[in-house]
């Protein structure tokens, strides 16, 4: 029994010897919360939409994400979601955007290949309504003044013109 104890004490330092070839660092993974958006032409997303993503690192932790759209420059963020507002050219109704995402870990490694997501969009129509706070009282007048509130999901500056139709005109 005493001999086994000595053998164990001699084997312990040998078992704790540092290996000459440490494990290589592993890159993080990144994913969008949806794998794909399979919408047809009539059911595309509006020009204002939200994307969410997440990442994981098997041998460390994720410090942030790099995101790019349509092969452009990578943009770093620590957020895991963002709201995007996409503008359209005059007369353009539909557009597909390709988003790419990669996670960055505490060792500076990045996801390869990046996660990809095609986002099918449609041009959202502008919104026009009568400003009820400035509406005239309920009377019969030959001429009236009304105030219209106009907005567009892509920004008010994208509203080019306004057409007004009264009655069946």
Dist. CA 56–CA 105, nearest whole Å: 9
Span 5-36, pLDDT tens digits? 655 556 656 666 566 777 888 999 999 998 88
State the pLDDT at residue 52: 96
Taking CA atoms, 76 is separated from 32, 58, 123, 134, 142, in Å, by 16, 21, 27, 46, 60
Q: Give the pair of three-digit tokens for residue 164.
A: 């007004």
Determine contact, residues 103/57, Cβ cutoff 8 Å: yes
State the pLDDT at residue 117: 94
State the pLDDT at residue 122: 87
State the pLDDT at residue 165: 76
Q: Give the pair of three-digit tokens for residue 25.
A: 């660092």
State the pLDDT at residue 100: 97
Instruction: State phi, psi for 24 to the nearest 5 degrees.
Output: -70, 150
State the pLDDT at residue 74: 97
Determine contact, residues 39/119, Cβ cutoff 8 Å: no
pTM: 0.68
State the pLDDT at residue 2: 60
State the pLDDT at residue 3: 57
Q: How far apart are the first and last CA of the chain?
A: 108
State the pLDDT at residue 160: 74
State the pLDDT at residue 111: 96
State the pLDDT at residue 45: 84
State the pLDDT at residue 62: 96
State the pLDDT at residue 68: 96
Give all domains of the chain, ordered by start, each with its CATH number: 22-122 (2.60.40.10), 127-158 (no CATH)
pLDDT < 70: residue spans in the chain: 1-19, 135-141, 155, 157, 169
């Amino acid at each position: 029994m005493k001999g086994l104890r000595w053998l164990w004490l001699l084997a312990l330092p040998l078992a704790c010897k540092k290996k000459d070839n440490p494990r290589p660092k592993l890159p993080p993974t990144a994913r969008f919360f949806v794998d794909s958006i399979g919408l047809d032409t009539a059911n595309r997303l509006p020009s204002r939409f939200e994307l969410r993503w997440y990442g994981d690192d098997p041998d460390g932790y994720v410090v942030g994400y790099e995101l790019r759209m349509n092969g452009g420059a990578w943009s770093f963020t620590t957020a895991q979601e963002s709201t995007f507002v996409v503008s359209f050219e005059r007369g353009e109704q539909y557009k597909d955007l390709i988003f790419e995402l990669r996670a960055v870990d505490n060792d500076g490694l990045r996801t390869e290949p990046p996660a990809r997501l095609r986002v099918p969009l449609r041009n959202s129509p502008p919104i026009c309504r009568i400003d009820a706070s400035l509406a005239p009282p309920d009377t019969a007048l030959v001429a009236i003044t009304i105030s219209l509130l106009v907005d567009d999901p892509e920004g008010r500056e994208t509203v080019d013109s306004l057409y007004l139709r009264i009655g069946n005109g």
